[in-house]
């Protein structure tokens, strides 16, 4: 297995682009795990433009499959006084795999402040059973994360589309930077899979996320919640959140997922 930190360190400059090697243990079916695709885009943008301010928002479209060698191409779309919009394309052997729009923005003085994203009630970490079960279950990429039930519903349980889990990187060198958070933010299967009567394929199409607060530097475990809000016509729209163990919201996001069931 290739640890997350080693994979990030292996990103290499190639002219105005970057290259990386996605090993089979980071795959989800026939394509790269979506959280890793997003993390690679963020890291490439940082490498290309090291003076960027904090990442505030990101949109990803997962257009096609990719694995093995990938090429990542960041492009500045617009740069203002406090914000920078960066487009990033990740390409595999079959062409465009992921297209990202990343918004980096510095803090500005403001007279207003409001926060209303409380962490949901969850089981204590020590009481959480392995989410993907024992014996090496789950997709390939999931083995890079420690994932435990925190409430909600199990997959394929004919239940409401709600998932609540504790999770962390198994790689102790992964850290809590932007790329590491993006990699955590897509670990759970779609909440709609709790509704399933039997296992069936799924495919994330789009993912939009806001990085609302920075986690504590020593944060390790995070609480992740996902709720399917509209499931119909073979698609699911879901809202998701990621909180530190202390209850601080760090990522709020949405996804559109194709359901082949």
List beta partners, residue 104. 55, 84
pLDDT at 135: 61
Average predicted confidence (pLDDT) for the chain:
95
The span from the CA of 222 to the CA of 117, in Å, is 15
- Domains along the chain with CATH numbers: 1-106 (3.10.129.10), 121-261 (2.40.160.210)
Per-residue pLDDT reduced to its tens digit, 177-204? 999 999 999 999 999 999 999 999 999 9
Check residue 136 and give its pLDDT: 65
> Is the CB of residue 166 less than 8 Å from the CB of residue 222?
yes
In the prediction, which pLDDT does 154 show? Answer: 86
**Residue numbers in the chain where pLDDT is lower than 50:** none
Q: What is the pTM of this model?
A: 0.96
Residue 74 vs residues 10, 38, 86, 89, 153: alpha-carbon distances, Å = 17, 12, 7, 7, 39
Tell me the pLDDT tens digit for each residue of 137-163: 789 999 999 999 999 888 899 999 999
- Tens digits of per-residue pLDDT, 119-136? 999 999 999 999 987 666
């Amino acid at each position: 297995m290739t640890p997350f930190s080693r994979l990030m360190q292996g990103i290499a400059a190639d002219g105005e682009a970057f290259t990386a090697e996605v090993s089979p243990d980071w795959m989800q079916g026939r394509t790269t795990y979506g959280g890793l695709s997003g993390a690679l885009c963020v890291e490439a943008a940082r490498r290309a433009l090291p003076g960027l301010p904090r990442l505030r928002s990101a949109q990803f479209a997962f257009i096609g499959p990719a694995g093995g060698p990938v090429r990542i191409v960041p492009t500045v779309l617009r740069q203002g006084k406090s914000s920078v919009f960066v487009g990033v394309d990740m390409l595999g052997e079959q062409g465009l795999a992921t297209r990202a729009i990343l918004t980096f923005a510095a803090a500005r003085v403001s007279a207003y402040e409001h926060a209303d994203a409380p962490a949901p009630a969850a089981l204590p970490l020590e009481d959480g059973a392995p989410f993907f079960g024992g014996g090496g279950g789950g997709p390939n990429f999931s083995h890079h994360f420690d994932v435990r039930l925190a409430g909600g519903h199990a997959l394929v349980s004919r239940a409401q589309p709600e998932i609540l889990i504790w999770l962390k990187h198994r790689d102790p060198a992964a850290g809590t930077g932007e790329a590491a958070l993006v990699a955590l933010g897509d670990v759970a299967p779609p909440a709609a899979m709790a509704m399933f009567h039997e296992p069936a394929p799924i495919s994330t199409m789009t993912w939009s996320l806001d990085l609302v607060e920075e986690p504590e530097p020593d944060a390790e475990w995070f609480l992740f919640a996902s709720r399917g809000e509209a499931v119909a016509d073979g698609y699911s729209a879901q809202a998701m959140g990621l909180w530190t163990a202390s209850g601080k919201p760090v990522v709020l996001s949405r996804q559109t997922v194709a359901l082949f069931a």
